[in-house]
Amino acid sequence: MSAVVTAARGWIGTPYRHQAACKGAGCDCLGLVLGVWRERFGALPETVPRYSKDWCEPQGDELLWRKARQWLVAKAPEDEAPGDVLLFRMRAGSVAKHLGIAGRVGARASFIHAYSGHAVAESPLGAPWRRRIVARFQFPKEASAWQR
């Protein structure tokens, strides 16, 4: 099993808290990814500014997607692997603003994520979720890959 998946599964049950990233106490979908990053590399590559629940939606700004491309390694959509960071667009015409980490791939695909009203959970990655994926990334292999 991937070290990223093991780390992400360690967050299961953490309550949803907007803008938080504290295992066991609270996190949102970005907080889960940031928490796994810290477990793998230590310090974050940059300070994450405060953000609203609408994620720049009124401006149409794909900020989360830009930052993912900056700090993670982009992958082809068909190149699925456990531990991938998945970016979702929740509604057509809106900005991509939900993240998850692939737990399993294949016929029983799953992903680990935090979403409002729910604790971090591993959910089936069925058709309703799969069709919302707009990008797939992997964490860098080592910290030196992102240090600039």
Does residue 143 have a pLDDT over 70? no
Q: Would 148 be classed as within a structural domain?
A: no
| Predicted structure pTM score | 0.92
Alpha-carbon dihedral 61, 128, 99, 6, rounded to 10 degrees: -170
DSSP code for 31: H
Q: What are phi and psi of 112, to 5 degrees?
A: -105, 130
β-sheet bridge partners, residue 26: 22
pLDDT at residue number 1: 67
Q: Would 24 be classed as within a structural domain?
A: yes
* Number of independent structural domains in the chain: 1
Q: Would 61 be classed as within a structural domain?
A: yes
Q: Would 42 be classed as within a structural domain?
A: yes
Q: Would 93 be classed as within a structural domain?
A: yes
Residue closest to 72 by CA, chosen among 46, 110, 111: 46
Domain of 95, CATH number, reads: 3.90.1720.10
Q: Which domain holds residue 32?
A: 3-143
Q: What is the mean predicted confidence (pLDDT) over 68-94?
A: 94
Q: What is the per-residue pLDDT across 15-37, written as a single tens digit (0 to 9) for each?
A: 999 999 999 999 999 999 999 99
pLDDT at residue number 16: 97
Q: Tokens for 118?
A: 């729910």
